[in-house]
Structure 1
């Protein structure tokens, strides 16, 4: 799958009218999987005037509920390619000579101002036949046909080659050279000393010398005529080109026969374009007429106008195309160099200051995970408010500063109302609203690799100390169960942290099923990368409330309502209520009945009923943490009373078990029961095998079984055999010689 493209741009290349119904549905599923909206699918579908029905996309959209093997963005990429689209900057496609690779000069290896030439000296004496034989042995298999040219013709003072020959194999030529007594002409035919000779560096099929006659696309020719030989030699070596044979042309250029290792002609063209582009970026203007795989190159071992065409070197640079390409693309990776610990031991850099005390540092990442209806979004809004006001979030003090809340799920009005509701419920004065920016992206969100640069551009120079993204399932790119795809996804958060110097905080949902018996870092849905990537993981799990706890909380809440009304309407009411009655619902209600005016008491009843209802709606949660920078904190118990969470300071929840959680003694008991059950299964299987085997497949007697077990080195008493017969579902067939049969197999 290719996640690096804007799918809406790709849809411009796909005509919905040309798709069948199933493919049209697949496009919708892929868009939803990639985080786009039903409106995006609907807008594209309108182009099919004949089949478009208003509202159909939105109805279908709601039925796309995910699958174990979802339709992904790769479907749209493939369709776009089928309809003629090609990625503009994909290395796998031809590049124009003025095209660039990457957004910067990321393939530049050579600093031109510091490049020193490497001298190439013509040898005084040479084994010219030996050079040609070595060339053939390196480039060709013995059975492969070789194309070569010794005949030439003159035009405007320049000698040009004819088509030449291609009827002999490398093995045949080498064998004949070994017998030619230093006379190359005797094997290949005489060449003109002023013109030299040529050879093709890729093997041919013996039927011609065109591109279609090339049988293996192994090599490409690198040649430049506009720089001196020493500089060419230096660039070729500095770039570590995977050169099989480096030949002096006898003129003003070197011929580097460079390994391409292409599977076919199409791949050959792409790799040669890439090779030439890298060379151009590094100061070598390559002769682009040499791109085709059947090209002629200068033959080593012959003379040309008084100069030798000779082998300078063989097998230099990287061993293969793959090794070279990986090295080129990694040479300017912008990664820091390793540093010695000795150099910094006495001058260590300062740690990033805390954003959330004892939990998260500024510029780091935090994930909040939890099930649906845990109030994760409210918790993150509470965090926004705490950072903006420099207040506590749950148990932890927060550093004051600017924060951006990226809202991907709520419509704009609902999101804004939530902020005001949270401020009101917390009882905080909104003194620093200018510290909170909200980016509402519902219906407009894009995959995270597209969102990150847009976010960075908008957040630059705003001095945010935190970016909160809620929720991330809206911007996930790829399969959330794939470790490598999720690692790529999480890298986008690093990019935001690094470029903005701000903490990135985001939330994600739990996987399905009971979570109480799992570790906190194993509860988040999808790949374990989610839990291991952030610097802080806060995990919410629901606590199972019993009637006693709810009644206790109701008692306290109603007693509190009574106090509020008495404080407001009755002076010195404490003189009429004992200290023992202050926390009693029954006693406080009785006191209100006696002390409050009738109308006032009636009005108070509405608050009492509201308090009862709020208690019934209240849920309890436990936060567990996995921290990279700080010691692990004890679990924090919370009440969620819409729309805010607050810490259980009095310890009402400390002994409550999480949903699906069991105490250690219970877990041990269940483990013992499981092992016992497994042992019983193993013994039953062993007994079944014995019954089937001990009497040649016929129903055995007890004595048959005793003898069979004895033969295996295991002594079993008759009484034990009889116990097993009953335990494992057998019985003794007294009508058939007291043999042992399965009850469900016709036993009596």
Structure 2
């Protein structure tokens, strides 16, 4: 896999924890990426219980790298990530310009620059080894628990390895015998080689074996590092507040921390150990990744190893349980500011952020423009971008001059650029400050906002933008827009951009489907109400219906919901392509949109529309039937595809027509049609 050395990543993957298929996948991935079978074999050897010499080589020969379902190095990367590997702890990687650089890890709580080491206090000449072991057993086990331990060993390639050992004695039996052994541990457990030492399993067994399936209670996990100074291991374990039941010096290069896991089953044990190891690794404890399995052997306190004492350093340190420790880890490094007392700042309040759009939006705040399709929202945002760049008025509000980034997610590049020029031309403004406008063309390249935000922040870091305009946001929504919690996460990305770049974020969203009549302005935007309530300023556009014909554009009312300023009087505008213009006549102010009409007004409006439609239908039918010379009720009924009775009712309700003896005529003073003029002349 390009740019990544996979071998160090294998340290994060314990073969003892891998099901058979995962073990095979690692081998297939190594072969495809050009590694040797010896790499796979060396890794597999870490699971001594299942390892069989020659098995890797046999399987390796069956792997075919020409199929369509290839297992690549990405599989190993994903497995390592799951177990705590990150780019910052792993090997160097060449990042591309658009790669997302991970933010500060909130689970890192120890600054490695300040770790000096905590000295271990070795027991003196009065050391009572059996007391160490008794305390160890009574701390970890119930009296009826079967304990696995090993005092005999065998040699391979100059290294002594433990045998299977004993697993049929209870902690109570061992403690009872150790209490009266007069310091002779060998008399209780069996003699061990002083140059090798002895081992013990930290989880209770069923008395039938020493494999993972023989573990009866998943209480503890082993944390061990043999590549760091002992003093640094000791300090990090304590600073991390690991829920350590027993802390043991191995007599060699490492400290063995027996850590509370308290899992209900093997699956939960695996997940909790993965989390534990990931936190340790992130905080500088370079732990042995092979020690994950619950039946693992650890060094037994109370014995000698090559002239050094394997002794109990401490018991019950750090947090009292795994759950308490995990909650502490998640909370201790939240990077939140401290509380402040109002009295301390009462007479020295910080200045408010200056206005970006006068009376509407402050610099560094968030604004959403919402409206239905065909409202010209994108044009309105382009008008705003130009107004900020030029330091001029947008609609009815003055804008502070500054640099603007317009993030175009919807239009192709030529259309977007032409729109800017068309709007400049329609506004009649000289393009004196077009250097203040940057456009980021992302049509077809948009990604979810939680991925876009760090890229945006990195690219805009030194541009000193006053405002970033994102049009439209439905292209980058993260999650379900109707989910409040997912949309809260989505909107938090805008806060990050505002905070990191010290600029305003302005974005565009559409109305939900269906009639908006009964909704308030802040409830018309599609999706969760989080949208409207998150923004510091919400401008909402709703169409006004006019009776006039031949108008140059459509009529709109802009309402606002503001957090920082007092409400403004709704703004009435015409959208005359490609710009919005204020209604200078005052005619639009007289109109009431459906959402503001009371029920009786809506009823009257409905009746009026029905009457106008019926009148138009009668006019059409009458004019069509004039071709016969005389218009009859029967002719009009046939044309309108209804009954004569209905036509008579319609005519009776209309003030334009009259009828007698089945003949229909227009009342005196009515407008004569061309057909009537011809007939009468």
TM-score, with structure 2 as normaliser: 0.67
**Residue in 2 aligned with 1:98?**
90
2:365 & 2:443 partners in 1: Cα distance? 26
* Residues 144/664 of structure 1: CA separation in 2 closer, same or farther (3 Å cut): farther
Q: 2:579 aligns with which of 632, 644, 669?
A: 644
**Residue in 1 aligned with 2:551?**
614
**Residue in 2 aligned with 1:696?**
none
Conserved? CA contact 2:480–2:487, under 8 Å: yes
* Residues 167/123 of structure 1: CA separation in 2 closer, same or farther (3 Å cut): same
Unaligned runs of 5+ in 2: 1-68, 93-100, 603-681
Unaligned runs of 5+ in 1: 1-79, 551-611, 668-748
Q: Helix, strand or coil: the match of 2:238?
A: helix
Q: Deviations over 1:272-310 (max 9, x none)?
A: 566456545545444555444332222235566776544
**Residue in 2 aligned with 1:372?**
373
**Residue in 1 aligned with 2:168?**
167
Task: Point out the more displaced range, 228-237 or 105-114.
Answer: 105-114
Question: What's the offset of the Cα at 1:504?
Answer: 1.0
Q: 2:593 aligns with which of 648, 658, 666?
A: 658
* Residues 82/139 of structure 1: CA separation in 2 closer, same or farther (3 Å cut): farther
Task: Point out the more displaced range, 502-511 or 315-324.
Answer: 315-324
1:493 & 1:103 partners in 2: Cα distance? 16
Aligned runs of 1:439-458 on 2, under 5 Å? Answer: 439-458=440-459
Aligned runs of 1:189-268 on 2, under 5 Å? Answer: 189-191=190-192, 196-211=197-212, 213-225=214-226, 229-249=230-250, 253-261=254-262
Conserved? CA contact 1:209–1:294, under 8 Å: yes
Question: What's the offset of the Cα at 1:371?
Answer: 1.6
* Residues 319/487 of structure 1: CA separation in 2 closer, same or farther (3 Å cut): farther
Question: What's the offset of the Cα at 1:358?
Answer: 1.2
Conserved? CA contact 2:115–2:232, under 8 Å: no
Q: Helix, strand or coil: the match of 2:594?
A: coil
Question: What's the offset of the Cα at 1:389?
Answer: 1.9
* Residues 483/319 of structure 1: CA separation in 2 closer, same or farther (3 Å cut): farther
Question: What's the offset of the Cα at 1:367?
Answer: 0.6
2:191 & 2:336 partners in 1: Cα distance? 56
TM-score, with structure 1 as normaliser: 0.61
Conserved? CA contact 1:94–1:269, under 8 Å: no
Question: What's the offset of the Cα at 1:222?
Answer: 2.4
**Residue in 1 aligned with 2:151?**
150
Question: What's the offset of the Cα at 1:481?
Answer: 0.9
* Residues 496/178 of structure 1: CA separation in 2 closer, same or farther (3 Å cut): same
Conserved? CA contact 2:117–2:234, under 8 Å: no
**Residue in 2 aligned with 1:630?**
565
Question: What's the offset of the Cα at 1:470?
Answer: 0.9
Q: Deviations over 1:481-531 (max 9, x none)?
A: 112221221122222222322211101111223324323222211112111
* Residues 155/543 of structure 1: CA separation in 2 closer, same or farther (3 Å cut): closer
Q: Helix, strand or coil: the match of 1:481?
A: coil
Question: What's the offset of the Cα at 1:638?
Answer: 2.4
2:493 & 2:179 partners in 1: Cα distance? 62
* Residues 531/109 of structure 1: CA separation in 2 closer, same or farther (3 Å cut): same
**Residue in 2 aligned with 1:115?**
116
Conserved? CA contact 2:155–2:161, under 8 Å: yes
* Residues 176/532 of structure 1: CA separation in 2 closer, same or farther (3 Å cut): farther
Aligned runs of 1:393-542 on 2, under 5 Å? Answer: 393-542=394-543
2:529 & 2:76 partners in 1: Cα distance? 32
RMSD: 4.0
Q: Deviations over 1:330-354 (max 9, x none)?
A: 5555444444545544444332221
Conserved? CA contact 1:120–1:230, under 8 Å: no
**Residue in 1 aligned with 2:663?**
none
Question: What's the offset of the Cα at 1:397?
Answer: 0.5
1:93 & 1:253 partners in 2: Cα distance? 21
Q: Helix, strand or coil: the match of 1:613?
A: coil
Task: Point out the more displaced range, 526-535 or 128-137.
Answer: 128-137
**Residue in 1 aligned with 2:658?**
none
Question: What's the offset of the Cα at 1:368?
Answer: 0.9
Conserved? CA contact 1:112–1:282, under 8 Å: no
Conserved? CA contact 2:389–2:434, under 8 Å: yes
Question: What's the offset of the Cα at 1:189?
Answer: 3.6
**Residue in 2 aligned with 1:383?**
384
Aligned runs of 1:181-196 on 2, under 5 Å? Answer: 187-191=188-192, 196=197
Q: Helix, strand or coil: the match of 1:236?
A: helix
Q: Deviations over 1:581-604 (max 9, x none)?
A: xxxxxxxxxxxxxxxxxxxxxxxx
Question: What's the offset of the Cα at 1:130?
Answer: 6.0
Question: What's the offset of the Cα at 1:463?
Answer: 2.5
Conserved? CA contact 1:95–1:274, under 8 Å: no
1:356 & 1:246 partners in 2: Cα distance? 62
Conserved? CA contact 1:240–1:324, under 8 Å: yes
Conserved? CA contact 2:404–2:466, under 8 Å: yes
Q: Helix, strand or coil: the match of 1:300?
A: coil
**Residue in 2 aligned with 1:707?**
none
Q: Helix, strand or coil: the match of 1:380?
A: helix
Question: What's the offset of the Cα at 1:266?
Answer: 7.2
1:87 & 1:540 partners in 2: Cα distance? 52
Q: Helix, strand or coil: the match of 1:660?
A: helix
Q: Helix, strand or coil: the match of 1:467?
A: strand
2:320 & 2:162 partners in 1: Cα distance? 32
* Residues 503/236 of structure 1: CA separation in 2 closer, same or farther (3 Å cut): same
